[in-house]
């Protein structure tokens, strides 16, 4: 276990940054500050939380965020607890950062900077890294003085990943030029993504977009879906990274899966949402987030054990509404039912609400059947006989629908296949019987 007092050892290990969390709880707002979430964000950025302070106020102080008396109290805590970094639970202006640093002898970062820092650490693809850098530069531009002071104080650490000290010291003109260059690169990558999307639409491959609050289990669900489709060896190569932490994965992942009726679809895992998701992130990731707009179905994944379930559900819904400009069916899926802490929660699935455990793969088959129904409608199994002169129809069904009991003879091929109701008419002349059950 990590010891907050541990110093650097001979192997070069650096102790984690000791962080003090600060939040204001406004008396006129129903929503309370979730300090546990801020703590998890700090831990995701590889810091350690030593203590936290919440002040009840009528409004945010324009100079110090908290009141002047409270900021002096914070300064004393910084000295007593040997705090390296003070983390504020809201976005601070450049002037607020400078004013606070004049009193508090520690690095000062806000919630936005903290989230950007985590994103910088987790982005793996070229597009993801460019999106994060764009968001960071836009955040840094109006805060150059205060942020440069942070860098000169500690020489890096939480809140300083990504553009780095050298880039933050660029003048405004050069930063604006860099922003323009990155945007041009993202536009080019967006054209490539659009071309691929058009091909999928031309091939009539449905898209199911998985959305949800960060750490709801989206990547774990995608891996469970992959395991339902491929052999163990193939599945291992197609799995995405998943871990029990905020923003464990950042880059959008696409995986092709076959539904119970045989039709192939693509499941898309998007970046996790969070309360007060920085506008810079939403804007920078607009291109990849817009993939949700083209989904045929949205799976809203929710951690059933989340203490702030309702708030997090509303947060995700509102963010999706900002992105999507048309009516897309939504399937609500509650995850982690293998670890339910409230025995009063019912877990009876329906066509609109499914209860699963992505980790233990419980009810993944129910989820796939429900997705199949919502995308394709009713299906049934039939016996068919296709003559040799029209075998192309058999080969298409063999590749795109589940078939079995195949027998070739001199006249053609007899087999059983699953057909969706909307395509039954197309193959009516080949149907010799309906298989019940």
Task: Tell me what pLDDT residue 306 has.
Answer: 87
270 assigned to a ligand binding site: yes
Question: Do residue 369 and residue 415 come from a single domain?
Answer: no
159 assigned to a ligand binding site: no
- CATH code: domain of residue 230: 3.40.50.300
Q: Tell me the three state secondary structure of residue 385.
A: strand
248 assigned to a ligand binding site: yes
Q: Is residue 9 a part of any domain in this protein?
A: no
Task: Tell me what pLDDT residue 3 has.
Answer: 39
Q: Is residue 319 a part of any domain in this protein?
A: yes
Structure tokens at 400: 């795109």
Structural domain span for residue 386: 378-435
360 assigned to a ligand binding site: no
Structure tokens at 394: 């058999």
85 assigned to a ligand binding site: no
432 assigned to a ligand binding site: no
Q: What is the pLDDT of residues 19-46, one digit of tens each?
A: 999 999 887 665 555 788 899 899 988 8
Question: Do residue 58 and residue 84 come from a single domain?
Answer: yes
> Alpha helix locations (H) across 155-274?
164-168, 172-202, 218-229, 232-238
Question: Do residue 48 and residue 139 come from a single domain?
Answer: yes
Q: Tell me the three state secondary structure of residue 166.
A: helix
Question: Do residue 119 and residue 243 come from a single domain?
Answer: no
Task: Quickly list DSSP for 295-339.
Answer: -SEEEEEEETT-TTHHHHHHHHHHHHHHH--S---EEEEEE-GGG
**CB within 8 A of 335, min separation 6: which ones?**
216, 217, 220, 221, 301, 302, 303, 304, 356, 357, 358
Question: Do residue 85 and residue 162 come from a single domain?
Answer: yes
As for how many domains the chain has, the answer is 3
Contacts 24+ apart (CB under 8 A), 364-369: 364/224, 364/225, 364/228, 365/228, 365/260, 367/333, 368/225, 368/228, 368/257, 368/259, 368/260, 369/260
Question: Do residue 342 and residue 211 come from a single domain?
Answer: yes
Q: What is the pLDDT of residues 301-340, one digit of tens each?
A: 999 998 888 988 998 998 888 888 778 999 999 999 988 7
Residue where a domain terminates, one of 151, 168, 185: 168
Question: Do residue 327 and residue 244 come from a single domain?
Answer: yes
10 assigned to a ligand binding site: no
- CATH code: domain of residue 48: 3.40.50.11060
389 assigned to a ligand binding site: no
Question: Do residue 216 and residue 262 come from a single domain?
Answer: yes
Task: Tell me what pLDDT residue 7 has.
Answer: 40
195 assigned to a ligand binding site: no
Question: Do residue 89 and residue 162 come from a single domain?
Answer: yes
335 assigned to a ligand binding site: yes
Task: Tell me what pLDDT residue 259 has.
Answer: 93
Q: What is the pLDDT of residues 8-18, one digit of tens each?
A: 444 444 578 99
Question: Do residue 358 and residue 401 come from a single domain?
Answer: no
Q: Is residue 276 a part of any domain in this protein?
A: yes
Question: Do residue 297 and residue 412 come from a single domain?
Answer: no
**Residue 37: closest CA among 196, 247, 237:** 247
217 assigned to a ligand binding site: yes
CA-based angle 357:359:361, to the nearest 5? 60
212 assigned to a ligand binding site: yes
393 assigned to a ligand binding site: no
214 assigned to a ligand binding site: yes
Task: Tell me what pLDDT residue 26 has.
Answer: 86
359 assigned to a ligand binding site: yes
CA-based angle 200:202:203, to the nearest 5? 65
Question: Do residue 249 and residue 286 come from a single domain?
Answer: yes
315 assigned to a ligand binding site: no
273 assigned to a ligand binding site: no
358 assigned to a ligand binding site: yes
- CATH code: domain of residue 393: 3.30.70.240
Q: Which residues of the chain have pLDDT under 70?
A: 1-14, 28-33, 144-171, 235, 240-246, 248-251, 341-346, 437
368 assigned to a ligand binding site: no
């Amino acid at each position: 276990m990590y010891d907050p007092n541990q110093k650097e050892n001979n192997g070069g290990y650096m102790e984690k940054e000791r962080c003090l969390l600060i939040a204001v709880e406004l008396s006129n707002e129903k929503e309370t500050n979730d300090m546990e979430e801020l703590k998890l964000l700090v831990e995701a950025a590889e810091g350690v939380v030593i203590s936290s302070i919440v002040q009840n106020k009528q409004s945010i102080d324009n100079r110090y965020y908290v009141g002047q008396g409270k900021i002096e109290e914070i300064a004393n805590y910084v000295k007593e607890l040997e705090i390296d970094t003070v983390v504020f639970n809201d976005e601070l202006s450049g002037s607020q950062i400078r004013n606070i640093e004049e009193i508090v002898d520690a690095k000062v970062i806000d919630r936005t900077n903290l989230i950007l820092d985590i994103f910088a650490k987790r982005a793996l693809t070229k597009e993801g890294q460019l999106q994060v850098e764009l968001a960071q530069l836009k955040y840094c531009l109006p805060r150059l003085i205060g942020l440069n002071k942070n860098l000169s104080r500690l020489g890096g650490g939480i809140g300083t990943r990504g553009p780095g000290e050298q880039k933050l010291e660029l003048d405004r003109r050069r930063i604006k030029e860099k922003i323009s260059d990155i945007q041009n690169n993202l536009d080019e990558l967006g054209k490539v993504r659009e071309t691929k999307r058009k091909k999928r639409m031309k091939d009539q491959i449905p898209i199911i977009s998985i959305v949800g609050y960060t750490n709801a289990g989206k990547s774990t669900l995608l891996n469970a879906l992959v395991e339902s489709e491929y052999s163990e060896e193939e599945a291992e190569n197609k799995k995405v990274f998943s871990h029990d932490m905020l923003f464990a994965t950042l880059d959008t992942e696409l995986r092709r899966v076959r539904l119970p009726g045989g039709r192939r679809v693509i499941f898309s895992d998007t970046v996790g949402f969070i309360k007060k998701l920085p506008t810079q992130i939403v804007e920078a990731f607009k291109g990849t987030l817009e993939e949700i707009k083209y989904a045929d179905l949205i799976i809203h994944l929710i951690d059933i054990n989340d203490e702030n379930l309702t708030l997090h559900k509303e947060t995700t819904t509102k963010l999706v509404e900002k992105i999507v400009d048309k009516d897309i069916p939504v399937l609500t899926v509650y995850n982690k039912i293998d670890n339910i802490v409230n025995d009063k929660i019912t877990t009876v699935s329906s066509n609109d609400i499914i209860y699963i455990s992505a980790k233990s793969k419980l009810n993944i088959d129910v989820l796939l059947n429900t997705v199949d129904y919502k995308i394709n409608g009713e299906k049934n199994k039939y016996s068919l006989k296709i003559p040799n002169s029209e075998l192309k129809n058999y080969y298409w069904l063999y590749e795109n629908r589940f078939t079995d009991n195949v027998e070739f003879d001199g006249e053609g091929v007899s087999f059983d296949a699953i057909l969706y109701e909307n395509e039954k008419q197309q193959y009516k002349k080949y149907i010799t019987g309906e298989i019940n059950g």
